[in-house]
Amino acid sequence: MVRAVRHTGDLLLTMRRVWLSSLVVFLATFAVFSRVLVADFVQWDDDISVYQNPHIQGLDWARLHWMFSDASYAMRYKPLTWLAYALIYRAGGLAPAGYHFANLLLHCFNAVLVLLVVRRLLAAGTQGRPIDEALAQATFPAGIAALLWAINPLRVEPVARVTDLTFCLQLLFLLISLWCYLRAWRGGVGEHRFGPWYWCSVAAFGLAMLAYPFALGYGVVLLLLDWYPLARFEGCSHWWQDSSARRVLLEKVPFLFLGGMMLPTIAARLNPAGVWMPFRVDVHMNLFERAMQAFYVWAYYAWKPWAPFHLSPFYTTLMGFNPNTWPFWLSAAFVIGTTILLVRRRRQWPWVLVLWASHLVLLVPVLGLTERPHFTVDRYDYLPGLVWAVAIAGALRWVNTRLGLRAMGTAIAITLAVFWGGLSLRQTRVWRNSTTLFTHMIHELGDDPRRSDIQWRLGAVLADQGRMQQAAQEYAASLRTHPTPEAYFAFAELLQRNGDRHGALTNCLAALGLDLTPLNRVQAGQVLASLGRSADAIIQYRVALAMAPDLVPALNNLAWILATDRGVTNRNGAEAVQLAQRACVLTGYQTPVLIGTLAAGYAEAGRFKEAVDTARRARDLALAARQPDVAEKNRQLLGLYQSGRAYHQPPVGNGASRVAQ
């Protein structure tokens, strides 16, 4: 009786420590990243993912169908992420604070889950002790490790960039899955074969893959954990012939099956469309070059978390490299040498081998084998970084068993937490808005000619803010650094807006002399249309569609000119309807601007009843999507269509837009 009471008291004390540790980790993580709550969106994919994405601005059946069927919009299949954005939009519209709060909250919860998962892993590796006692002893090192993982400066990007909610959401479900798996098998064969904890693990993994199909090797990691620390293969001399081993292997079938959700993403990345067309598989990259790139990525994420300095969303090492240079040979030697050493010492250091193998497996999706150009980014460490959290916890547990080292180990861990927390706090300022982000990126790139890509982006942001002179300076700097079609077209648009039609045309023609993508052709058409050269714009749009038949901006802009151009010879109402209908079908009839273009096409084709109904739909959809300018434009055109007249644009110079609304 006394023993039972004492055991109950120990359990309560342990639970209090777990709750206290979890609260400290949660609050410390929230404090370090709280500055993101006042940040804006950034034009580094946030525009594509959220505030210019019509598919997340509602929860009707058409949008839900798109969320669970499309993989090309972002080159990833992530329906739960789209659903999360839609729920946030429903609660607060396009206010950035709501999206940042969701990211931050998910990250804080993930930090707590890391504590719970690492605690169970450490306990599973403790042989000869009751599970409750092992869990109690693992609480402190797991808490420190979870905090260090959570506030590492490499976490700033996935927390501060709204687009990366997908990483935070996926890891939430993965950690739940792993905790359930460890709960099901607490060392040796579990109490229940394929019991409820196992199926909860499978279900959570399925949700993780629906959030973001990044954890392709998760099933392999579970097998590694089955080997050690769960020791589920002990006594199995012949793998498949042994029934216990066979059961362990068969358990992974559902995880492999759910891993198939990666296939739509792979297909989308092998055949990118829209804004992602420049990212394609490089068929000229041979096997040696791919292998050296893989070695570099594996080595990079082994050392970068420990030296998180000069962070930026844009690292250019892998965008064009010579595999015979020392960084790549050193990386290859490090990866191969470490692997051979740990395999040879697998009996002495089983933990280290499992962690290293998990590191290699979890990074396979980001080795850059499916598109070019490729570059390492901080967010890719969000999941693999857990490996180092477990390593830190293991080291702290070992130190805590040595009385002479316990105080020193704790002091080092706390000092590192303060240092990393300070770095992360400073790094969050970089993500305050697009201007601060691009300015920081340009500074970090230094003399790298690829900074020209960031310079014209900064110019576009400054132009949107009305800072025309500064925008012009950035465009000019971009063109001096490395002339690109994007910089030429952006500068041309700025000059046209300022009335310098000659300068705009000069820059446009200079861009046309370069190698252009379909999207570049669309940009050329927009500039030419704004200058009143509709016939030339039509040519550019047709070339773009010949290269990419389903490119929505080209379909829409060509349809708009064919429906509304002032020149009779340029108009073709029937073709405008066909093109606009195709654009609307591709976007699920959810984009007000495209529906407005379709209404204009109907009017030019003399189908005024359909034009009126479609213009009403565009107006109402724009109001629901909180796009007052588009709604007002379609309201005005609706009156024109009701009177039986089509809309034709006035001459350039009268304030008219020569491209779609």
pLDDT per position as a tens digit, 438-476: 999 999 999 999 999 999 999 999 999 999 999 999 999
pLDDT per position as a tens digit, 398-425: 887 776 677 888 889 999 999 999 999 9
Residue 421: is it exposed, middle or buried by C-beta count within 10 angstroms (0-12/13-18/19+)? buried
The DSSP result for 53-97, as a single string, is -GGGS--SHHHHHHHTT--SSSSS--HHHHHHHHHHHHHHTT-HH
The DSSP result for 6-23, as a single string, is HHHHHHHHHHHHHHHHHH
What are the extents of the domains in the chain? 21-430
pLDDT per position as a tens digit, 110-154: 999 999 999 999 988 776 667 777 788 888 999 999 999 999 999
Strands (E), 209-274: none
CA distances from 311 to 154, 321, 436 (A): 8, 20, 14
The pLDDT value given to residue 258: 86
What CA–CA distance (Å, rounded) separates 377 from 612?
A: 48
The pLDDT value given to residue 656: 44
Provide the β-strand partners of residue 372. 280
CB 247 within 8 Å of CB 239: no
CB neighbours of 518 closer than 8 A, spacing ≥ 6?
Answer: 277, 544, 545, 547, 548, 551, 554
The pLDDT value given to residue 187: 46
What does the angle CA 17 – CA 107 – CA 77 come to, to the nearest 5 degrees? Answer: 135
CA distances from 335 to 290, 302, 341, 461 (A): 15, 9, 10, 42
Which segments of the chain have a pLDDT < 50?
2, 5, 187-192, 654-659
CB neighbours of 332 closer than 8 A, spacing ≥ 6?
Answer: 291, 292, 295
The pLDDT value given to residue 238: 65
Q: What is the DSSP letter of 651?
A: P
Which tokens in the block code for residue 321?
């490299």
